[in-house]
Amino acid sequence: MHIFRTWSEVPAPLEGGVIALGNFDGLHQGHQAVIGEMVRTARAKNAAAAVMTFAPHPRQFFRPDEEPFLLSPFRLKARLIEALGVDYLYVQTFDREFSQRSAENFVAEVLVGGLGVSHIVVGFDYVFGHQRKGNVALLRELSERYGFEVTAVGETAAPDGVRYSSTNIRNLLKDGRPFEAARLLGRYWEIEGRVEPGDKRGRLLGFPTANLPYKDYLHPRQGVYAVRAGLDQGAASIWFDGVANFGSRPTFDKTDVLLEVHLLDFAGDLYGKHLRVALTDYLRPVQKFDGLAALTAQIAKDAAGARAVLDRLPKAPMAAPYVSML
């Protein structure tokens, strides 16, 4: 997949291509339905399959002081989009100037004049343009004027009727229900980062941990999780079972938020490595212990609990691009 940061210099293969539009935060199964329809349409037309998304997320741009809400930062989003068979990814900078574009100007100048698309695929409730005045009805109206086709993918939901939506997924993760969030995502939700040196207390306790800084992600419920952790190996990742603590460390009077991951049955140096951590189940909340002996005993229980949970789950293919819950 080729990634571009501007729409004004279009490679020839994209002209006449099919494009899916959206923020696609989380790449849940509703988003996958939109992108999947785009890819199928592009293949039927023997045309390029493209996605346009926006960075920063418009909500971040307009409300920068809100607590972190993103489900998938760019690196992970791009990996997931590529796994869906997309040829080109356009990451449109969302700034003050772009936010002032009218819906019709966006279609006429960017999509038609700049990208030369032949077909646009969106979700049924997609809105765009200045003050969100553009919608599917406007796209259909403009398609007759500018000569492109439009497909609007209908609302999708899980078998139990819960709607596939980023908001529902965020709420489930905040409630400490990662398995239910995974049902809407189609895979386990991930946190990722580069491993940094820590206090090395875990090593002294017999449970060495990889420490990941926590910045722009949604904050799930603080506590201990059973996880699968992936070490990047090129385009794929090698997955290991593990147990992780997300949150503060009250036993040591720490108040900053950190993700600490212990890989089960793993020996090796993780410093500087890029690590992906997929939350599979919530084990317990954060708590303060009376001394290192009590903490060590609880970590051993947590590791055993994580192992029991993960042993019941299907093993991910070792080099899988992500951990599917199916």
**Least confident residue range of 191-195, 203-207, 320-324:** 203-207
What structural domains does the chain harbor? 2-153 (3.40.50.620), 190-311 (2.40.30.30)
Q: Examine the pLDDT at 235 and tell me if it is beyond 60.
A: yes
DSSP per-residue string spanning 243-301: EEEEEEEGGGTEEEEEEEEEETT--S--TT-EEEEEEEEEEE-----SSHHHHHHHHHH
What pLDDT does 52 receive?
A: 95
> What does the pLDDT read at residue 26?
93
**Tens digit of each residue's pLDDT (9 = 90 or more) over 102-151:** 999 999 999 999 999 999 999 999 999 999 999 999 999 999 999 999 99
Residue carrying the six token digits 């646009």? 120
Instruction: Note whether 174 and 226 are within 8 A (CB).
Output: no
Q: Measure the CA–CA gap between 20 and 36, rounded to whole angstroms.
A: 9
Cis ω on the peptide bond leading into residue 73 (within 30° of 0)? no
Residue matched to tokens 């820590």? 198
Cβ 284 vs Cβ 247: under 8 Å:
no
pLDDT at 57 over 70: yes
Residue 172's pLDDT band (cuts 50, 70, 90): very high
If you average pLDDT over residues 198-216, what whole number do you get? Answer: 70
| CB-CB contact of 325 with 187 (8 Å) | yes
Is it the case that residue 168 has pLDDT exceeding 60? yes
* Helix (H) and strand (E) counts in the chain: 10, 12
Q: How confident is the model at residue 314 (pLDDT cuts 50, 70, 90)?
A: confident
User: pLDDT band at 63, cuts 50/70/90?
Assistant: confident
pLDDT at residue 66 greater than cutoff 80: yes
Q: What is the pTM of this model?
A: 0.89
| Half-sphere exposure in the Cβ direction for 36 (13 Å, CA) | 9
pLDDT attached to residue 222: 94
Res. 71 pLDDT band, cuts 50 70 90: very high
Predicted local distance difference test score (pLDDT) of residue 8: 74
Query: 318: helix, coil or strand?
Result: coil
Question: For residue range 176-203, what is the model confidence (pLDDT) as tens digits?
Answer: 999 999 999 999 999 888 898 766 555 5
- 139 by Cβ neighbours in 10 Å (0-12 / 13-18 / 19+) ranks as buried
Beta strands in 5-74 (DSSP E): 18-21, 49-55
Determine the pLDDT at residue 13. Answer: 65
Spatial separation of the C-alpha atoms in residues 314 and 132, rounded to whole Å: 43
C-alpha span between 147 and 28 (Å, rounded): 31
Q: pLDDT > 70: what percent of the chain?
A: 92
Q: Which residue has the higher pLDDT, 14 or 116?
A: 116
DSSP string, 185-230: HTB--EEEEE-B----HHHHTT---EEEE--SB----SEEEEEEEE
Band the pLDDT of 214: cuts 50, 70, 90.
Answer: confident
User: What pLDDT band is residue 303 in, cutting at 50, 70 and 90?
Assistant: very high
What does the alpha-carbon distance between residue 205 and residue 297 come to, in Å, rounded to a whole number?
Answer: 10
- Cβ(239)–Cβ(229) below 8 Å: yes
175 vs 252: which has the higher pLDDT = 175
| Residue 297 clears pLDDT 90, i.e. is over it | no
